[in-house]
Amino acid sequence: MEALEKQILHDLINNKQIELTQNELAHFSLEFHKQYNLINKMTVQGLPIDKVNLELYAIMEGQEINPDYAEANEQFEGKNISDIVKLKVRIKQSQQENVRIQNLVAEIGKGNKSAVTELQKILSQMSGKVEKSSITTLADYYQEQKDFYRKVVDGEVLDGLIFWGHGKKNTKQFMRLSNILKRIAPTDLVFIGARPSVGKTSFALAMMNALYKNGYKPLFISLEMTNGELLQRLATAKSAVSYDALLSPNTPLTPKQMADYESGLLEASKMDVKLVNNPPTSWLEMKQLIIRAITVDKIDYVVLDHMHIISSYDGSPNINKNQMYGDISRDMKLLARDYGVPIIVLAQLNREVRGQKGKGGKRIDPSYIEPFSTDLRDSGSLEQDADKILMLYREYPDQAEEHERWGRYPIVCKIEKNRSGKLGSVKYWFYAKNGRWAEADFDEERKG
């Protein structure tokens, strides 16, 4: 940690009042956030705060910290820490603006006309002529939209994520979905909801694999499985070697299966996919990692698996889960908008499912019951903030035993929300044994 961060933590454990805004916190290190959040949690619980108690509390919370700030730093004596923090934020924002200016100048040199408008806005803001929010007119966006229209007419690649078309590779398994969504815009917040075991993680990995073929680099944050298991999922999908064959000691792999799996493992390992080692479960810490991946690693989008394992917004206890997830989803939307990087989030559904009976009065497996956006757990704000909502569920509950036996499930991907776009559904076969997906027309197959 830098000297200022150490001084703030030193002051906090010595009962000095220092309040930091969300904007200011965004410019501090992850180690600082970890200890700052622990101190806040101790304050809320009324626990005595000092260096020893902080270390003990961190152990109780299962966290490792480095409290190397036993003494105050002389350079900060008699100074207002809050003013120093504000200055630090302004300097960092200025550095970020300089990088943006350099990039825009390079784009102007390549003939990008929209970069001229963007540069003018930045320079105006820096000179104090306009505030961040200002009054404008429709005419100010004429050239921007004309350039966008020209790109569409000329078949150029649009901003955002595109599965198929617009000069991209033909990723057939998502062709129909692409025809409905068209693209995932740079500012989109997308939720993918499903009940357990329907395959939402595998679906997200299949989407990621298809997008990767088209040159989009992701950050995949998994709160449910290890990164090693994530690589294993990708390798089995690429090699078609089933999980059962891979993990069962009683059914050794054949030489061909071993070669196929090793080939799939090598191919998957070469994908430039950014991961998080030991990801935090507080959104604020996670947000810092995402911003770092955007600015340093130049990722194109984020996949988070999944929303409802996030335990808090900032590390402090949260009694009202609806409010907490509302704050997080709103912050996710703002993050996508501010940085121009889509965020795809997997989400659980409410446990309460209206009882439905099939033939013979047998209760239907909930994974076969069609869900709606209102079924998203803590759905109020999630529905409101999302630009797109995709819901996965199984078809034909009367054949559930057959699906289970063969490990092949008919899945419907229903586009429940598509801001400024059309709705619809796409049918897939999900081969659960190896995590593969294929667009399907199982209605016709049943007739045949």
What whole-number distance in Å separates Cα of residue 168 and Cα of residue 163? 7
What whole-number distance in Å separates Cα of residue 390 and Cα of residue 199? 13
For the chain, count helices (H), then strands (E). 17, 9
Question: Where does residue 394 rank: exposed (0-12), middle (13-18), buried (19+ CB within 10 A)?
Answer: buried
State the number of CA atoms in the 13 A half-sphere of 175 facing the CB. Answer: 8
Q: Residue 367: which of 348, 380, 389 has the closest Cα?
A: 348
pTM listed for this prediction? 0.68
pLDDT digits (tens, 9 = 90+) for 304-337: 998 988 888 777 766 678 888 888 899 899 899 9
Structure tokens at 294: 């955007």
Low-confidence ranges of the chain (pLDDT < 70): 1, 22-23, 70-71, 77-78, 89-90, 92-94, 96, 117, 120-135, 148-149, 151-158, 164-171, 317-319, 352-362, 379, 442-448
Reply yes or no: is the peptide bond before residue 306 cis, omega within 30 of 0: yes
**C-alpha distances in Å from residue 157, one per residue of 256, 259, 303:** 40, 37, 22
State the number of CA atoms in the 13 A half-sphere of 333 facing the CB. Answer: 15
pLDDT at 131: 47
Cβ(348)–Cβ(318) below 8 Å: no
Domains and CATH numbers, the chain: 3-79 (no CATH), 90-154 (no CATH), 172-224+271-447 (3.40.50.300)
Helix (H) or strand (E) holding 56: helix 51-60
pLDDT at 448: 44
DSSP 8-state secondary structure symbol assigned to residue 310: -
Structure tokens at 305: 């698996």
296 phi/psi in degrees, rounded to 5: -100, -50
pLDDT at 82: 74
* Mean of per-residue pLDDT scores for the chain: 81
**How many percent of the chain have pLDDT more than 70?**
83
